[in-house]
Chain A
């Protein structure tokens, strides 16, 4: 099937998924820190977080990716030259891709988490503190579990966009699934076949993601009464 290119496409899918999951972890961490900063009492932190989310969400992913890939390359080599390293260092497109996508979706998740945190009644946190829990304990036991519930719809959206954004790493030369589809297309002169296969694989990933996240949404909403 697919002129023997199926194994390489499947291997590429592994890379695509690895990029997606690793950047998701970075994005979640950045999103939590960002949301905490956006809601903090310090105007400096709030300002930094606001600039982060506004700038990142105002510039295309592709431009940011090219900036971090080529710019990072240049910066690393300048720093390396100052430290006395003679040989040029190549930035790994996998690292650049994961860093960029994580950094971009950290901004989107910041806004998602901020909205979810704001949806929790402040009395709940206060009650926890009044019981003598430390702020960290309040976060782990009270705020965080409820935040998940409010964040899931936005998170689902962010994750689907993130998965689709991973196709861009092929532009900076990572041999992900999309890149391999392009190579196979060139070798067999059947671009439609291979890009269609790539589309089908992406559709499978987004479909499975949707099913899992819907089930999760149902689970965290157990015990919540719904109108109508």
Chain B
């Protein structure tokens, strides 16, 4: 291991981490905004709505994200209409295309997660809300979404980790994210072990941090679903 070269290259790795986190953050945020209505539609009793969302998520989940990214980044340039449109400055940028591909991808997976969580809400909770005279929107806003999104947390944490790893594909469309930094270092010095193991350690650390954050979030928002404490502990808590 040539530690000197690694230390010298550390700043470019940190730059790469920033690009990775930026891609991840923007894609996750936009993806979640898309996924909530899609997930509600997917779980709805309306067959047409549910089916149209399903066909979207089926295609996205059935094809590699690399293909989706290439379709957008390399593919769209095939059409003169796209090249002449006002969107072209955006669509010719690797960063925008990567974010677009990642967003569409995570939106599909997250929509299925949210739909599954909504279906898992006990029917009694929704019936209770209806019998209290809440309107459909109120039921959705006050009962279904808070309960559903909470229940979606554990599965969503997996999705976030998958997306973190998925952002490494950005390095295939010229972006210098964490993987891109490692590939540059390997190309310059031909030190594959140093270059890729360093990147791997960074990814492991990021994965660990994300897992930890989700652990905290679950502790906070899923406390009511946690296994009950023993009777003894509860009795002690009541007495004190």
Chain A residues near B128 (CB-CB < 8 A): none
How many A-B contacts if CB must be within 8 Å? Answer: 117
Which A residues lie within 8 Å of B79 (CB)? 192
Q: When chains A and B are docked, how far (Å) is the Cα of A60 from the Cα of B68? A: 18
A202 touches B67 (CB 8 A): yes
Is A178 within 8 A of B192, CB to CB? no
Contact with A along B162-200 (1 / 0, CB 8 A): 001111110110000001001100100010110111011
Closest to B66 in A: A167
Interface size class of A (residues with CB under 8 A): 35 or more
Of the candidates A63, A73, A74, A168, which one forms a contact with B200 in the assembled complex, judged by CB atoms under 8 Å apart? A63
Interface of A is mostly: helix
What sequence of 0s and 1s flags, for each residue 125-166 of chain B, a beta carbon within 8 Å of any chain A beta carbon? 000000000000000000000000000000000000000111
Choose among A61, A70, A192, A198 the residue that contacts B186 (Cβ–Cβ < 8 A): A70
Digit string of B47-62 for contact with A (CB within 8 Å is 1, else 0)? 0000000000001011
Report whether A191 and B192 are in contact in the complex, using a CB–CB cutoff of 8 Å.
Answer: no
Most buried by A among B62, B179, B190, B204: B62
A196–B75 CB distance below 8 A: yes
| Residues on A facing B (Cβ under 8 Å) | 55, 57-64, 66-67, 70-71, 73-74, 160, 164-168, 170-171, 178, 182, 185, 189-193, 195-196, 198-199, 202-203, 206-207
8 A-B residue pairs with CB within 8 Å: A58-B204, A60-B165, A60-B179, A61-B168, A164-B64, A167-B66, A168-B64, A178-B67
